[in-house]
């Protein structure tokens, strides 16, 4: 209904903020996006990556990907935006291109496979394309270099209603900006939540520590070098128990490598801060060496880390009572999972569309708050819980390996042994059966609730065929923890010797 069209302020012009702005403007709302950082610089992807100071986006130079759920939502809603991404060098990774050679030779396309695609490019490219598209879109105004200093609220009995924000333009005067709706898209470190608490609101939070730190380094393929072919024997992503690793192909021959380590692996973490040691460790892992060998690529950045990794769920409705009316938090400002799983952008756009639908369907501020909270639970809670479960398994395995440097701890008890046996069979089936892989990819790409594909009897039947027929690829080709630590110690000794020799010259 036309009466449901409102003026909206969105705080934060990151990916979730811009997705929310585009979704709301498309629905006919008038949107103002305020952002503390500067706009992207003039020029192409390299200028954005190397020259844009995005202080407000903690993961700006860490790898990103748009999972299929996000890619398809954008394709359906803004097909010309997808064209802009491809024009900027983004790549479409199809389901068929993800198949290992032995499966590709037996592959028969299914109609749903067309939707199982991922978009990959550097986040700087993603944000630049999004930003320039939003700047051209009808119904959106973007204000940069703006610090939000507070919320404007009205109190009625024990209920807070948000009516706008106070802000200060860099180099300018303080001002008030009024709106019907205020949206917090400020990400994991959003300050708007604290501004809401300043009004007396109590926001309960679920927080779980993933106990990891990950490091990233960016590279570019050397002239004339092609990307390595996919090789299941030497995968470019994997888990050695004490190290997780992955390659993220980007735009224009650029790619990133991440290495993820438990926060208590102090010797490893100390070593990997050094860019040369980072490369040595990566080159000791066959699946990474195929990308970062000296004759394959050159580094374009040093190694840099990302820590304080928590899953978090902030509650804006408690006991069916909204914390505030006309205030909505979306994306990481409300719900975030371990970024290692690459779900943040995708859950952000899901959340943005949940909000757009609620505003379109419901006029009552109180009912809007309740229904938005309910649909957030329905859409994001299964993803959140699955991510937490993966975190717990990874923590258990990493701690066990630090204790005795073994591989995955042997399961105890009949139930745990059976679960382990079936888990290995499932991983083996994913590697060797297209139908099972297709189901797993639907879950991975958030095209269905986590694990939904396991309700397919054909998946169960095909998985059972692999019981006892392998370890499911759980043993990734790579060095042991002891071998990596020896490599670090050897390199450290060589560095000390070299420095001593130089000092004596």
Per-residue pLDDT band for 175 (boundaries 50, 70, 90) equals very high
Host H or E run for residue 31: strand 30-34
Distances 304 to 257, 456, 473, 483 between C-alpha atoms, Å: 11, 42, 29, 23
Average pLDDT over residues 425-451: 93
User: Which pTM was predicted?
Assistant: 0.92
**Banded pLDDT at 505 (limits 50, 70, 90):** very low
CB atoms within 10 A of CB 156: 8
Query: What are the Cα distances from residue 471, in Å, to 230, 266, 354, 426, 431?
Result: 20, 30, 40, 10, 11
What digits encode the pLDDT tens for the residues 27-81?
999 999 999 999 999 999 999 999 999 988 878 888 889 999 999 999 999 999 9
CATH top-level class of 1-64+122-208+310-406: alpha beta
CA-CA distance, 500 to 505, in Å (whole number)? 9
> Two tokens at 225?
């070098």
- The whole-number pLDDT of residue 172 equals 82
* Residue 404: predicted pLDDT: 72
- State yes or no: pLDDT of 184 exceeds 80: yes
User: Of 33-37, 125-129, 255-259, 423-427, which range is least confident?
Assistant: 423-427
Residue 455 CB coordination number (10 Å):
11
pLDDT at 411 over 70: no
Residue 503: what pLDDT?
39
The full DSSP string for 227-251 is PPPP-TTS-SEEE-SSEEEEEEE-S
d(CA 469, CA 427): 11
pLDDT of residue 492: 64
- For the chain, the structural domain boundaries read 1-64+122-208+310-406, 211-306
**Domain 211-306 listed as CATH 3.30.9.100:** yes
Average pLDDT of 157-176? Answer: 90
Locate 274 and state its tokens: 């050094």
The pLDDT value recorded for residue 495 is 55
Residue 406 pLDDT grade (very low, low, confident, very high; cuts 50, 70, 90): low
pLDDT band at 470 (very low <50, low <70, confident <90, very high): low
For strand 254-262 and strand 327-329, is the pairing parallel, antiparallel, or unpaired? unpaired
Checking if the pLDDT of 99 tops 60, the result is yes
DSSP state letter for 111: G
**pLDDT class of 230 with cuts at 50, 70, 90:** confident
- The rounded percent of the chain whose pLDDT value lies above 90 is 75
Decide: helix, strand or coil at residue 403: helix
pLDDT in the model for residue 500 = 41
Could you say which DSSP state residue 158 is in? T
Specify whether the CB–CB gap between 32 and 179 falls below 8 A: yes
- pLDDT band at 424; cut points 50, 70, 90: confident
209 within 8 A of 37, measured Cβ to Cβ: no
- Average pLDDT of span 163-172: 91
According to DSSP, residue 316 is labeled S
CA distance 86 to 91: 6
Mean pLDDT of 405-423: 70
């Amino acid at each position: 209904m036309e009466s449901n069209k409102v003026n909206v302020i969105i705080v934060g012009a990151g990916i979730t903020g811009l997705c929310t702005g585009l979704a709301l403007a498309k629905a006919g709302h008038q949107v103002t996006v305020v952002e503390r950082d500067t706009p992207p610089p003039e020029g192409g992807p390299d200028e954005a990556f190397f020259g844009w100071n995005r202080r407000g986006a903690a993961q700006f130079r860490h790898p990103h990907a748009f999972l299929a759920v996000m890619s398809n939502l954008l394709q359906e809603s803004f097909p010309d935006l997808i064209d802009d991404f491809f024009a900027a060098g983004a790549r479409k990774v199809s389901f068929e291109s993800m198949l290992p050679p032995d499966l590709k030779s037996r592959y028969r396309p299914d109609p749903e496979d067309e939707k199982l695609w991922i978009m990959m490019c550097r986040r700087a490219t993603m944000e630049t394309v999004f930003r320039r598209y939003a700047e051209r879109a009808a119904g959106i105004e973007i204000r940069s270099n703006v610090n939000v200093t507070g919320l404007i609220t009205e109190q009625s009995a024990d209920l807070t209603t948000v009516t706008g924000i106070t802000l200060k333009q860099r180099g300018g005067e303080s001002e008030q900006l009024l709106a019907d709706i205020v949206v917090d898209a400020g990400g994991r470190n959003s300050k708007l939540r604290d501004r809401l608490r300043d009004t007396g609101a109590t926001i309960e939070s679920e927080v779980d520590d993933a106990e990891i730190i990950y490091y990233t380094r960016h590279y570019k393929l050397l002239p004339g070098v092609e990307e390595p072919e996919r090789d299941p024997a030497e995968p470019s992503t994997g888990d050695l128990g004490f190290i997780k690793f992955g390659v993220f192909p980007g735009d224009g021959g650029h790619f990133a490598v991440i290495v993820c380590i438990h926060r208590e692996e102090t010797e490893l973490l100390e070593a990997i801060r050094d860019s040369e040691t980072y490369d040595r460790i990566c080159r000791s892992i066959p699946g990474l060496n195929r990308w970062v060998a000296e004759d394959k690529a050159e580094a374009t950045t040093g190694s840099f880390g990302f820590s304080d990794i928590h899953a978090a769920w902030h509650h804006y409705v408690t006991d069916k009572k909204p914390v505030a009316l006309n205030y909505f938090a979306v994306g990481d400002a409300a719900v975030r999972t371990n970024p290692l799983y690459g779900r943040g952008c995708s859950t952000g756009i899901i959340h943005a569309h949940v909000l757009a639908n609620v505003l379109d369907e419901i006029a009552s501020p109180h009912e809007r708050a309740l229904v938005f909270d309910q649909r957030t639970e329905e859409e994001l809670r299964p993803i959140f819980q699955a991510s937490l479960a993966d975190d717990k398994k990874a923590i258990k395995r990493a701690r066990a390996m630090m204790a005795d440097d073994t591989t995955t701890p042997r399961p105890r008890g009949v139930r745990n042994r059976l679960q382990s046996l079936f888990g290995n069979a499932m991983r083996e089936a994913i590697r060797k059966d297209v139908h099972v892989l297709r189901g797993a990819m639907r879950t991975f790409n958030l095209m269905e609730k986590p694990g939904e594909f396991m309700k397919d009897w054909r998946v169960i039947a095909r998985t059972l065929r692999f019981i006892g027929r392998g370890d499911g690829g759980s043993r990734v080709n790579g060095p042991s923890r002891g071998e990596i630590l020896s490599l670090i110690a050897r390199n450290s000794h060589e560095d000390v010797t070299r420095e001593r020799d130089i000092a004596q010259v």
